[in-house]
Structure 1
Amino acid sequence: MKKTIIYAAVVTAIASTHTQLAKAAENNSAEDAEAKKIIVTGTRVSGRTIEDTAVPVDIITNEIIEESGASEVGELLQKLAPSFNFSRTTVSDGTDIIRPATLRGLGPDQVLILVNGKRRHSQAWVNIQQTIGRGSAGTDINSIPVSAIEHIEVLRDGAAAQYGSDAIAGVINIILKGGSAGTSLSGKWGKTKEGDGEVKQVSANSTVELGDTGFLNLTAEFRDRGATNRAGISNRKDRVIMRLGDSSSKNKYLFFNGEAGLTYFFGGVSSRTGESGGFYRFEDRADRNVPQVYPDGFLPLQNTEVDDTSLAFGVRDFIGESWEYDLSAVYGKNEFGFAASNSINASIAAEYLFNNPGATDADIAANSGPTSADSGGIKFTQLTYNFDLSSPLDWGLYNDVYFSTGLEYREEEYGINAGELASYSCGYTGSTNNPFPSVIDPSVAAACGMQGFPGYSPEIAASSQRERDNYAFYVDLETNLTDDFLLGIAARYEDFSDAGDTTTGKISARWDITGSFGLRGAVSTGFRAPSLAQRAFTTVFTDVDGTELSQTFHAPEGSEFAAAYGVEQLEHESSENASIGMVYSPGDGLSISLDAYQIDIEDRIVLGGGLNGQDLDANGDPVINQTALDFLNANGYNKGQFFSNAIDTETFGADLVLTYDWGTDAWGDFTFTWLTHYNRTEIKEINAPEGVLPETLFSQAQVDNVETGQPRQRLLLGLDWDINDWSTSLKINRYGKVKTSFFTCQGLGIPTENPDVCNGDLGIDPSPAVRSSAKWLADLEFRYNFDNGVMFTIGGNNITDEYPDKLPQNSAHRFISDAPEFGNYIYPWESTPFGINGAFYYIKLDYSPE
């Protein structure tokens, strides 16, 4: 019978995982272990299955991965795990190619990613624009090829006491293909209903035997994804001038996974290049254009390159008959490079004219500098060592106590590489704080650095170099106190060289009231250490301020600007997590689970709003922070922003999972799935630094981003049908409504003339929020197996061709991109849970020789 799409499973409160199972649990026979689905996430008890553990996890099997039609890991999880969100962004700098991945409505850096049970390194890029996960540096899950994955386990419970920092929302464990994978070839082609976004993908996976029991599994994948564009016509230009949609990208992957004797090893390299657009620069923008070069204006392009490397090596064996040890080292590196093209540094031509009054247009054009430049890059490296030891112990209780303990030591480094001089400078002087009068209007200073994304200066690069180490020690115990009652206890101590130490704990339990019905639950404390990216990331970027574009300085921890507001150092986030649920498995293919949870987080690290040095105190009186103001003026910045432990949040949610397998003799095999996810996050407190109003540091727009920027409701209805050589899958996803408010009059701070109209002269929509209603999307796939190893597939994603609700004709989105007219933006920008591409159709050919 066809396997269930997603198993409603449970995992214990145990500290670490094994990537391969060494032996079955003592109380299960070998036959039982083969018949059940084994869990490797969250337990050190070998042989744990979905029937006998204590908190929920979803298992996405290899069969379902292959039938999903997904080309990327983020897209795959978005379609099949309702508690997961993978918002698609546009005109958002590096977030266009590294998209924010979240779990249970929290941030991208509050979910821990494992590969084969080992901690995956974080991404180098920080989401700094108005997107979901603003201010976070999560994990680049799309750096792992789908064709290398055996299955994925999604732990939906707080797990910091088990795995350490970042596991507040839960854990996603990606298990790579192993020795039984065989050989397979695959090719895919597709495009959107609009005719763009063409995808060409080929992959190969094969296993080579090493000795009698060892293996080496190799995966190679290449994907070329074309850009999509859903921009409207500019009323100023009477044509499409912007790129709003998916960026183009080329993706190359080479991954491996193997075992030889007592050793295991896995890892891979990936390289992705992309190109996306910024805001159009009109010809009359005195500070940002050189009309002698771009007489009709220009669209600056951002060229990105993401290189990712990982390598893990370990030894696993037994000491004596029962003590199993696992000694491993894992290395990871993520590099993010930026370049600007179809752009210009307006200050270079301004400097030339300043030094050569009366120069002709031809002279100015000839001395305006390059139209492309290397903007520099960011890199993050992580090296993790683990020693784990476990054994069943006879303490005279009803059952053996499974005892596990271990040590972890981790080193991390973060840094920024400077770009070319023209990418960041004011003129050719090399200075970043000496602007020149623009070539259009001498009363306006020309903006420094390349348009679209100013490069990193040597000063920024020098100040961004950081490193740290941390070590951890954990102990966990698990046993059945009776035949029907399972108890797990875990505790972890962790010490960071730059953020201090913390101790967390977790208790989980399961009570099987009958043979088919059980209750389960857990309580735990957790933490998340500030990432090195949040501590050290520094940049100057183009942001929106009212109706204008402005140069905003992102200040690192301990910088002069942040210190002026009393923010010297970031602290740990701390959390409390509680969950309770029930499972019902009466047999005959039916399984039902319902789990509710609450997560309270204090001192959550967020990115504050732009401050200009002239702020208000708690009484609403002007406060001149002269230090901050002098810093901005001296460097030619309009605003500054920084990270702080600014908010306390409460998240409540619930998950309902129902699966039913039904096999018939005449009509084949059916699998029905109903998955429902609900979560609600509320900000309970905003802890603003002295001299800054809470609504100034963390505006209503940022509050909405956290509370309502992600769908509170998700629903997945699935039907899979196998009959003879034919099979088909239908999955219907419902995405709940979202609300954002940055791109509104209030969010942008556009002055109002009366309470009823945003601005009487401009006529911008006065609505305080941008809302998109709930949407139903359907994915459909048909497959035919030729019985010679060849499988042909034809399918479509979002075959109902759904889009987010259109923006009003006079929305602030459409004004800021086309002022003083309205145009360009048709759909929202900040939060697009399923994107703005519409329907996508594809064909696929797979070959797996017998």
Structure 2
Amino acid sequence: MKQIIALFITTFLLGIGSLYAQERVVKGTILGDDQLPLVGATIMEKGTNNGTTTDVNGLYTIKVKGDAILVVRYIGFKETEINLGTAKSFDVTMELDQLEEVVIVGTRGAPRSDADTPVPVDVVGTKELAQTGQLTFDKALQYKIPSFNTVQTPVNDATSLLDPYEIRNMGPSRTLILINGKRKNLSSLLYTQTAPGRGETGADISAISTSAIKRVEILRDGASAQYGSDAIAGVMNIILKDDADYGSIQLNTGITSEGDGESFGLALNNGINLKDKGFLNYTIDLSKVYLANRPGTVNAEGDAFDFEADLATVEEFLSRKPDAGNINGSPETTAAKFLVNGGVNLNASSQLYFNAAYVYKKVNSFANYRTPYWRTVADMPYLADFFPAPGTPNGYDGYVPTFEGELNDYNATVGFKGQTNGWNHDVSLTAGGNSQVYTVSNSHNRNKVLAPATWVDENNNNVVDDGEVTQDNQLYRENSPVTFDVGGTAFNHLVGNLDISKRVVPSLSIGFGAEFRTEVFTVIEGILASYDGGGADSFAGNTPENSGAFNRYNLGGYFDLAWDITDNFLVNGTIRGENYSDFGNTFVWKLSSRYKMMDDKMTIRASASTGFRAPTLHQIYTQKAQYSFVPGQGIQVGGLVNNVSPQASLLGIPQLKAEKSTNLTAGLGFKPNSNFSVTLDYYNIAVEDRIVLSTEISGTEAGDTPLDQVLEDNNMSDVSFFVNAIDTRTSGIDFVASYRDLPLGTGFIGLNLSGNYTIQNEREGEVKNPKLVEDAGQSVVNATQEALFFTSRPKTKWIFGVDYSISKFNVAVNNTYFGKTTFKQQGLDENLRTEFTPKIVTDLSVTYNATEKLTIAANINNILNVLPEWKFVAENEEGQKLMDSKEVTASGLTPIEDQSNLITFNQRYSQMTYDGSHFSQLGTLFNLSVNYKF
């Protein structure tokens, strides 16, 4: 028995000794393909949970058993397996994975590949942007991202400087724009015209040069918990080029098929290698686009009726100017853009980084032409002297006020990032601003404002002689200037960020940080003549009482946890709290998850989050008189009353509060190989207390209410204001599929199909009207507003592209399907609506790589010359009767012709109506570019 026990003990001890003999410590270094250490690479013992990460020098140490196999992973590089055998040290140089996109947006922990994120992220490279042939960044995205839309406004004064854009039908203010992961400043422009985007503002992405962009990451998911306000619909992160060894210069030119809209551009991008110290990349982009004019043929009967003019007089004028002198379309635009991106390595584990941009843009646009029967010499005899037209009746033929806008936009970030004891830290300061000032020329102040004589009598008293109204004591009219500095707006912010993260263990990473932001919105006063008595004809200047600087600050903090429960199962959670100086606190959260199966070929992902959007300073403090087109009444003066004014108090308008949102997404991805991928994502966004710019509230029949008094005291036909008026729900599906590098003949073909379909986009519950508006029998949201919010963007949009590369050539054909949009224009009969007909716009791109350095590209956009087309649709039987009626109305036209004139200003905007369309009315555009690399 003793011998058996002794044998057992001996065998056990030998086994233990053998087991320990198999354990060993393995050390090594993980390097990138540039032979620089990779910090934070994960090293796992295959088939176990045993793992570690590399330090700031790329070094690792791990204890393994037996003939272990190590798996090394690092974002952007191909996964590498190491069969150790009996080795106790092993160095690895990892190979760059050209097929895997690394995305920064959507996580506050370690970056992940686009196939590894728990939320949908689109990644668009600079080559894809250039391939669209579009002149600006926002228009390039329009033809690459189905859920991204931007409206083409025919002419809307200040909105000619930039067009409204949005993701998932949520308005421009609900998409957060980042540059290299840092918040970009908002534009100072507030959209107030009756067009999609009304009442909102957003960052001016059209100001960013595509030549400076490396790639764009678009997170199609709510992300307020991670990034703060404005991220309800998603986040766009613009990554600037960081190439230090190469550069390029590009010349481009273009023209429309009508022979106008000529464009010329020169863009230089270059990199400077600072040896081991870092890099510098800079871009200079200069461009000029000339006017492209697409006016409609004006209806004489409609104009005669609206302006109570003699039909023969109108017909005589239109015989000479069938378009009534209107200038609609794409304005003349001059732009200069300067960008720089750089980094300086302070040591092996820390870097000083910086980027900056400055953009100058000048736009020459036009107001509606003032015809001689609209502004008459009978009412204003001096017009024949101001705007002489020899050879025409009365020597006067009307005039067209010009609208000249100057935009300055800048942003700059400086920061420090590094690693200490495994903790990644990033401290940065960002400054940004946007200013827009306007000049109205070829106009006049037609208002009667007197300057009575003043003198001192024998008793030394001031005496005013009201006397008779004469040319001499008129401040304006005969004595009016014809050019007016009408003021403008400015916005700037200062943002401080602190972000800290660490991969605590290979499967768990945490991140936390804080942000401080101060914002200032400034309304710039116009000269006296621009606003006095009603101001310049076409665009009144900002008055002193409505001008000034308005500011606020906020402080926010977040905590993020990402846990790879297994290699396939990820859970990511984020919480955030913010405090605003003007409306208090908010708390939001986000939870997302991803599960991979079928050897990582299939991914299931989902997220749930709450969000918020703070009212912008523009929405809180803007107050102005504004000219706008009122169907059937021509141009009228209305008033926008801000929420902190005495008028708002009198009207009982509540102060604004933050919007709240709930965002749900669920999707799946299939990637059987590196060339083929398909993703399908469902989203559902509920917004509570959505901020809207109300419809124009007019006076009551009684005429004796506080509302009537405000209108009378301010000489306004109506009043509008911002209010948390509605709750909304938006849901839909995003689909993306691509197959690249498919052999065909001696070349390779690529296919891509992507689309967005809106399932639901509507108001939930009743409109929250202030009592005064409710008592007047009106609503802050009418049918026109509902259409702008919910049906003015395409219900569905699809993009199908094919590109073929062979030898030195690449040919790409892109087809963009714009689905149906529906409007209920202001003044339109309640029994009718208008629909823009679905259209397919086809673009052709041909690229020839003449040498390794020289590339020539030709683009024909809208090759089939497809134009926007709309039609009336009856809402009911009464609407159909209206459409079928041939009865002649007071204007001498049929009822449906009257309705058409109402929404097009008597056919001045016949192609797009007064609300704009989702693709250009300019027709076919030809572009040619030559790029030389050095």
Q: Under a length normalisation based on structure 2, what TM-score does the superposition of the two structures give? A: 0.79
Structure 2 CA distance for aligned equivalents of residues 246 and 108 of structure 1: 21
Residue from 275, 278, 281 that aligns with 2:367: 278
Shift of 1:828: 2.0
Give the conservation status (yes or no) of the 8 Å contact 2:614–2:657: yes
Note closer, same or farther for the CA distance 1:607–1:551 as it changes in structure 2 (3 Å cut).
same
Q: Is 1:290 equivalent to 2:380 in the alignment?
A: yes
Shift of 1:63: 2.0
Q: How does 1:700-739 map to 2 (within 5 A)?
A: 700-739=783-822
What are structure 1's unaligned runs of at least 5 residues?
A: 1-19, 427-447, 616-621, 748-766
Shift of 1:461: 0.8
Q: How does 1:390-429 map to 2 (within 5 A)?
A: 390-394=501-505, 399-426=506-533
Could you say which residue in structure 2 is the equivalent of 1:467? 551
Note closer, same or farther for the CA distance 1:352–1:712 as it changes in structure 2 (3 Å cut).
farther
Deviation per CA, 1:742-775, whole angstroms, max 9, x where unpaired? Answer: 244347xxxxxxxxxxxxxxxxxxx622211100
Note closer, same or farther for the CA distance 1:811–1:660 as it changes in structure 2 (3 Å cut).
farther
Give the conservation status (yes or no) of the 8 Å contact 2:818–2:918: yes
Structure 1 CA distance for aligned equivalents of residues 364 and 565 of structure 2: 58
SS at match of 2:329: coil
Q: How does 1:39-78 map to 2 (within 5 A)?
A: 39-78=103-142
Residue identity opposite 1:310 in structure 2: N
Q: Is 1:657 equivalent to 2:736 in the alignment?
A: yes
Q: Is 1:231 equivalent to 2:321 in the alignment?
A: no
Q: Is 1:814 equivalent to 2:914 in the alignment?
A: no
Could you say which residue in structure 1 is the equivalent of 2:749? 670
Note closer, same or farther for the CA distance 1:22–1:282 as it changes in structure 2 (3 Å cut).
farther
Structure 2 CA distance for aligned equivalents of residues 807 and 542 of structure 1: 27
Deviation per CA, 1:189-227, whole angstroms, max 9, x where unpaired? Answer: 111111111111111000112242411111001111112
Shift of 1:511: 1.2
Could you say which residue in structure 2 is the equivalent of 1:166? 230
Could you say which residue in structure 1 is the equivalent of 2:411? 310
Shift of 1:271: 0.6
Deviation per CA, 1:496-544, whole angstroms, max 9, x where unpaired? Answer: 1002111100110011132211210000000000001111112211123
Q: Is 1:512 equivalent to 2:596 in the alignment?
A: yes
Residue identity opposite 1:130 in structure 2: T
Q: How does 1:330-729 map to 2 (within 5 A)?
A: 330-347=430-447, 367-394=478-505, 399-426=506-533, 448-462=534-548, 465-515=549-599, 516-548=601-633, 549-587=635-673, 589-614=675-700, 624-626=704-706, 628-664=707-743, 666-679=745-758, 680-685=760-765, 686-693=767-774, 696-729=779-812
Could you say which residue in structure 1 is the equivalent of 2:920? 835
Shift of 1:732: 0.3
Structure 1 CA distance for aligned equivalents of residues 201 and 245 of structure 2: 33
Shift of 1:562: 2.2
Residue identity opposite 1:91 in structure 2: V
Give the conservation status (yes or no) of the 8 Å contact 1:654–1:677: yes
SS at match of 1:677: strand
Structure 2 CA distance for aligned equivalents of residues 817 and 522 of structure 1: 44
Structure 1 CA distance for aligned equivalents of residues 904 and 689 of structure 2: 36
Q: How does 1:152-301 map to 2 (within 5 A)?
A: 152-180=216-244, 182-234=246-298, 235=300, 236=314, 237-238=317-318, 239=321, 240=323, 241-261=325-345, 262-285=351-374, 290-293=380-383, 294=387, 295-301=396-402
Residue identity opposite 1:547 in structure 2: G
Deviation per CA, 1:718-747, whole angstroms, max 9, x where unpaired? Answer: 111111111111100000111112244347
Structure 2 CA distance for aligned equivalents of residues 532 and 21 of structure 1: 44
Residue identity opposite 1:494 in structure 2: E
Give the conservation status (yes or no) of the 8 Å contact 2:108–2:226: no
Shift of 1:623: 8.8
Deviation per CA, 1:433-469, whole angstroms, max 9, x where unpaired? Answer: xxxxxxxxxxxxxxx211111001111114xx21100
Note closer, same or farther for the CA distance 1:127–1:364 as it changes in structure 2 (3 Å cut).
closer
Give the conservation status (yes or no) of the 8 Å contact 1:24–1:46: no
Structure 2 CA distance for aligned equivalents of residues 208 and 180 of structure 1: 5
Residue identity opposite 1:526 in structure 2: G
Shift of 1:286: 6.0
Larger Rg: 2
Q: Is 1:34 equivalent to 2:135 in the alignment?
A: no
Note closer, same or farther for the CA distance 1:695–1:655 as it changes in structure 2 (3 Å cut).
farther
Could you say which residue in structure 2 is the equivalent of 1:443? none
Shift of 1:702: 0.5
Which structure would you say has the larger RCO, counting Cα contacts within 8 Å and 6 or more residues apart?
Answer: 1
Could you say which residue in structure 2 is the equivalent of 1:124? 188
SS at match of 1:606: strand
Shift of 1:331: 0.1
Shift of 1:69: 1.1
Structure 2 CA distance for aligned equivalents of residues 24 and 535 of structure 1: 48
Q: Under a length normalisation based on structure 1, what TM-score does the superposition of the two structures give? A: 0.87
Shift of 1:814: 3.4
Shift of 1:125: 0.6
Residue identity opposite 1:562 in structure 2: A
Q: How does 1:774-785 map to 2 (within 5 A)?
A: 774-785=838-849
Give the conservation status (yes or no) of the 8 Å contact 2:414–2:430: yes
Give the conservation status (yes or no) of the 8 Å contact 2:516–2:556: yes
Give the conservation status (yes or no) of the 8 Å contact 1:186–1:845: yes
Residue identity opposite 2:689 in structure 1: D
SS at match of 2:772: coil
What are structure 2's unaligned runs of at least 5 residues?
A: 1-36, 43-52, 54-71, 80-94, 301-313, 346-350, 388-395, 454-464, 873-895
SS at match of 2:189: coil
Shift of 1:374: 0.5
Structure 2 CA distance for aligned equivalents of residues 290 and 845 of structure 1: 54
Shift of 1:591: 0.5
Structure 2 CA distance for aligned equivalents of residues 63 and 91 of structure 1: 31
Shift of 1:813: 5.9
Structure 1 CA distance for aligned equivalents of residues 713 and 470 of structure 2: 29
Deviation per CA, 1:461-491, whole angstroms, max 9, x where unpaired? Answer: 14xx211000001000001112221100000
Note closer, same or farther for the CA distance 1:330–1:49 as it changes in structure 2 (3 Å cut).
same
Could you say which residue in structure 2 is the equivalent of 1:619? none
SS at match of 1:343: coil
Residue identity opposite 1:380 in structure 2: F
